[in-house]
Amino acid sequence: MEATAQMPTPAQLETLCVNTIRTLSMDAVQAANSGHPGTPMAMAPVAYLLWNEILRFDPDDPIWPNRDRFVLSMGHASMLLYSMLHLTGVKAVNAEYEIPGNPSVTLDDIKSFRQLDSRCPGHPEYRWTSGIETTTGPLGQGIATSVGMAIASKWQAAHFNKPGYELFNYNVYALCGDGCMMEGISHEAASLAGHLKLDNLCWIYDNNKITIEGNTAWAFSEDVATRFIGYGWNVTRVGDANDLDMLRRAFEVARKETSRPTLIIVDSHIAWGAPNKQDTHAAHGEPLGEEEIKGTKRNYGWPEDAKFLVPDGVYDYFQAGIGARGKQARDAWFAKLDEYKKDNAELADHLVKMQKRELPDGWDKNLPTFPVDAKGVAGRDASAKVLNALAQNVPWLLGGSADLAPSTKTRLTFEGAGDFTAENRAGRNFHFGIREHEMTAILNGLALSKVRPYGSGFMIFSDYARGGIRLGAIMEIPTIHIFTHDSIGVGEDGPTHQPIEQLASMRAIPGLIVLRPGDGNEVTEAWRLIMKLKHEPAVLVLSRQPMPTLDRTKYASAEGVQRGAYVLADSSDGGQPDVILIGTGTEVGLCVEAYEQLVAEGMKARVVSMPSWEIFEHQDEAYKEEVLPSAVKARVAVEQAGTFGWRRYVNSNDAIVAMKTFGASAPLKELTKKFGFTVENVVATAKREIERNNS
């Protein structure tokens, strides 16, 4: 600490800054009696150099659109990021995209690390703490999401940049570890990034050879460098994480690369705790202990009894580095945007709306209306027409599928849509390959970059995608997930491809909107609802087989989709029904047929189409009572999926016409008979429920 008594040299200030990051991290973990001190201590030099010298980021405006992105993929090392947010003076941003000017992370926040309502939770959380670009924690998700961010930078550049106006050219940096490299999603992500030649992407791999169980030799011995060279990456290595000059050289190599993403392998030694400790779990995932911290601080030349110390000169040094450089870049960008608006008014308007998750004027014009048709249209085919109309009205609506676009009908077919490739960055059709897990992470990265992305696959493969969908819900970002082949309607493909429990699984995710529309016009209304979402991801569940297009002059308007559930058909006298049939998707038409038969036999029946449980539950109690009167106990739910969850709307397990087993391989007509999805069975179930409740 003697260096702070006089004018310190730049080298001394660098060391002081690095050790401040380390000591804040170890003190916070110790105070919380929880967390991971080792990686923040080992990677402090990397974080210091990247933030203070490389990252194009303005702490006073952490959301300006062309900032470089930093992703901490090993989210357990969150104190490394919180230390950087605090020391660089990152400002908080509120929900209205205004900058109040308060610090994003105060020293008191760090002191309350991992405590209730702290801005420094156990893992970095987007939306909760400004300066955090994505929520991380599940290993591999961060680096996978960074690929989406890098793609967004390339697409935004191709769409918005004009001669003399380079508005988008940001780079994406992600710090990852051995756990990220082991997770399968990292293979998917690295493979696609290399294929797309994302030269604006740089991963820094902390090669410390430690996981919770111990040395990585237990389970991980591959040659990571060779693996990434095989993916088509530029690979460079820094033999010592403390060597700032070699780190500078590695980052310079990454910035000069013009055709490949870059992997920087950084060898480090994690903090091992007290010398007599043999438990590597304690070293990696637990506090060091007071005595070990004192010894470590003595080794740094630090006052061993000082806690949460930020020495004189540290804040100023960061302000003179990233603070000054970032402000200059940010101010120049906004000055350029002001000029851009004069020559490119519509594009500028779109850019601003996109950043605020708003929609352009006329976004829902010309959406298709489907004529009455007893044969009808498949959900996926109706969606294709709606999607293509919307995408022409919303230029930043883009996406693709996990190699299934011909089946999910998600290809944009209008002139100029094009394919996003290494050669064409302006294309709006994305090809994610057979990589459902990575596809959802890329969607998150795209949405975090403020474009509006969708991805698609078969409903059964939502299992592979669930991790990314869940994180999108936690982050409250409006990704769109289109899943077709939604039931036993897959037929001959059999149980491996027939989703049963997947709908319940999606409905179980808090904050996720799940919609299963019942005819073509409900599909249109579902899309209309989805496009207006700003803070919720949506899952659109669509059929492969046709659904009858209902006569809306006879039955209620499909606009009822906007409320999640609505009375589609009712008794002619408007009185209280004897029984309510509740259906979703392809089973809505089945409920209508059963309703007509019940009415013909003199019973008062009602059909409720319920495309979205979540939206319905958002309605007020009066509306919910109007649709599902509590006095009507005889209710039947019909859905070609598992029964789980339906008891909230019906009064008996016997009143749920749904799947109680896995499916079978057979033509659809045979399957509907086998599993009871027939008019006869629904009518019989309704009569039984009426009799049960009357008695």
Residues with active-site annotation: 436
Residues 6+ apart with CB under 8 A from 65: 156, 167, 168, 333, 351, 355, 450
Q: In 34-106, where does DSSP find H-type helix?
A: 38-49, 78-87
User: Is-contact 270 214, C-beta < 8 A?
Assistant: no
Residues 6+ apart with CB under 8 A from 117: none
**DSSP letters for 4-48:** GTS---HHHHHHHHHHHHHHHHHHHHHHHT-S--HHHHHHHHHHH
User: Is-contact 253 262, C-beta < 8 A?
Assistant: yes
What's the rounded Cα separation, in Å, for the pair 87 and 123? 19
User: Is-contact 136 73, C-beta < 8 A?
Assistant: yes
What's the rounded Cα separation, in Å, for the pair 593 and 439? 39
User: Is-contact 440 465, C-beta < 8 A?
Assistant: yes
What's the rounded Cα separation, in Å, for the pair 274 and 292? 5
What's the rounded Cα separation, in Å, for the pair 628 and 157? 50
In angstroms, what CA-CA distances link 60 with 89, 98, 109, 203, 433? 7, 11, 18, 25, 39
What's the rounded Cα separation, in Å, for the pair 62 and 514? 32
Position of tokens 């460098």?
225
User: Is-contact 145 453, C-beta < 8 A?
Assistant: no
User: Is-contact 2 301, C-beta < 8 A?
Assistant: yes
For CA atoms 452, 457, 459, 464, the dihedral sign is negative
Lookup: tokens for 687: 């009569």
- Count CB-CB contacts under 10 A for residue 211: 20
Which element (helix H / strand E) includes 397? Answer: strand 397-401
User: Is-contact 588 595, C-beta < 8 A?
Assistant: no
- Count CB-CB contacts under 10 A for residue 569: 22
Measure CA of the first residue to CA of the last residue in the chain; give whole Å. Answer: 85
User: Is-contact 452 394, C-beta < 8 A?
Assistant: yes
- CA angle (475 as vertex; 361, 38 as ends), nearest 5: 145
User: Is-contact 21 80, C-beta < 8 A?
Assistant: yes
What's the rounded Cα separation, in Å, for the pair 438 and 410? 18
Position of tokens 């000591």?
23
Q: What share of the chain is helix, strand, coil (3-state, %, to 5)?
A: 45, 15, 40
252 sits in the region (left: phi over 0; alpha: psi -120 to 50; else beta) called alpha
In angstroms, what CA-CA distances link 589 with 30, 119, 496, 499, 579? 61, 49, 26, 20, 17
The b/e string for 397-424 (b: 16+ C-beta within 10 A; e otherwise) is bbbbbbbbbeebbbbbeeeebeebeeee
- CA angle (45 as vertex; 42, 48 as ends), nearest 5: 130
What's the rounded Cα separation, in Å, for the pair 155 and 149? 10
